[in-house]
Structure 1
Amino acid sequence: MKATKENVALKDTLKDMPQTQLDTRMAKAKPVKLGWSSEEVEHVTHALNDLLVNYSVHYQKLRNYHWNVKGSDFFDLHIEFEQQYMEAQQHIDDIAERVRIFSKTPISTMGEYLELSEIKETTSQLSSEIMVRELIADYTILLGYMFTVVEIAAAQHDSGTEEMVKVFINRIEKHHWMLSAFLAK
């Protein structure tokens, strides 16, 4: 192919154009913060970590109860506890990833969970009724932490965190109601 005047001009034009977004000045710049101050980030991530540690202990209790429930309620509760711990696992992952969005580190060790959580472990040798009562108490605690996260997020115009946790609240309130109805038999 013969180099024409037009081809040379086109090549000169193309060499100065970014080939990808990574070639632009904006893309090479330091990543942009999400818009919150360090203090605001600290408030929301602290509240998220408080929720995370409590949810993590609650999750393990659900697994414990799923594995160890006995008696005439076994079939109903075994399935229900499994569904709830699978949901809890997803919520925990969402919370931890939300903390990471703010470039902070989610609390992530069992030792920290047990030390910092208001929700406490129980033994495996509980009646099904006591297991359900424990979970209802956990849900009351979790809801308190969730309401705190929503309040802090709303005050900082953090709609991502607020929306995520409001979905959790809806589900937890339903679990609380259903387990309470189970005890009313």
Structure 2
Amino acid sequence: MDLEVKKEKKKAYSKLGFKPMEAVELTDALNNLLANYSVHYQKLRNYHWNVKGPEFFDVHEKFEDQYNDAKVAIDDIAERIRVFNQTPLSTMADYLKKSEIKETGTDLSAMEMVEEILQDYRMILEHLMHVVEMAVEHGDSGTEDLAKGLIKKVEKNHWMMLAFSQQS
């Protein structure tokens, strides 16, 4: 192989083999996911602390389980962004600006909280699917694997909350 061609190839790729624009696209999708997960996480904590009524015992513990899942996902997503030598979003202000998931107050009924969380899961799944598409497009099996693992957890949590919401 010609030395000039070797130099050109080397310049076009980062140490992981991703072109700079590919890394930017992947980390942008991951930061969008991170922002949505982070608002979702805080929402789950809010609901865990403030749920009242006859469904308290049913959902209080489930919200805690789910915010613990979200906390792990947030860390995994942020660390994946660091793999690309990029900086993950890390302030609530940044999360709130970027996130499609919005905060709510503390005055919701338990069932309204469950409905909010179901909507959050639908939005998170959309973002996860976008991350998978980006990862496949750019040949990024690490990000693809991360997102697909999160999809399984989100789908399961969505199913459980949906089944609970249909109790009547």
Matched residues in 2 for 1:74 and 1:130: separation?
13
**Equivalent residues in 2 for 1:137-148, closer than 5 Å:** 137-148=119-130
Q: Deviations over 1:126-159 (max 9, x none)?
A: 1000000000000000000000000100111110
Partner of 1:96: 78
Partner of 1:156: 138
Q: Which amino acid aligns with 1:172?
A: V
**Equivalent residues in 2 for 1:46-57, closer than 5 Å:** 46-57=28-39
Q: Give TM-score, length-normalised by structure 1.
A: 0.82
Matched residues in 2 for 1:103 and 1:41: separation?
9
Partner of 1:126: 108
Q: Give TM-score, length-normalised by structure 2.
A: 0.90
Matched residues in 2 for 1:115 and 1:152: separation?
22
Q: Which has the higher contact order (CA 8 A, sep 6+)?
A: 2
**Equivalent residues in 2 for 1:171-182, closer than 5 Å:** 171-182=153-164
Partner of 2:6: none
Bigger Rg over Cα? 1
Partner of 2:21: 39
Matched residues in 2 for 1:151 and 1:41: separation?
14
The number of residue pairs the alignment matches comes to: 154
Shift of 1:125: 1.0
Matched residues in 1 for 2:118 and 2:110: separation?
12
Matched residues in 2 for 1:180 and 1:152: separation?
29
Matched residues in 1 for 2:28 and 2:62: separation?
31
4+ residue runs over 2 A deviation:
none
**Equivalent residues in 2 for 1:42-81, closer than 5 Å:** 42-81=24-63
Shift of 1:120: 0.2
Q: Which amino acid aligns with 1:38?
A: P
Matched residues in 2 for 1:116 and 1:37: separation?
25
Shift of 1:121: 0.1
Give ranges in structure 2 of 5+ residues lacking alignment: 1-13
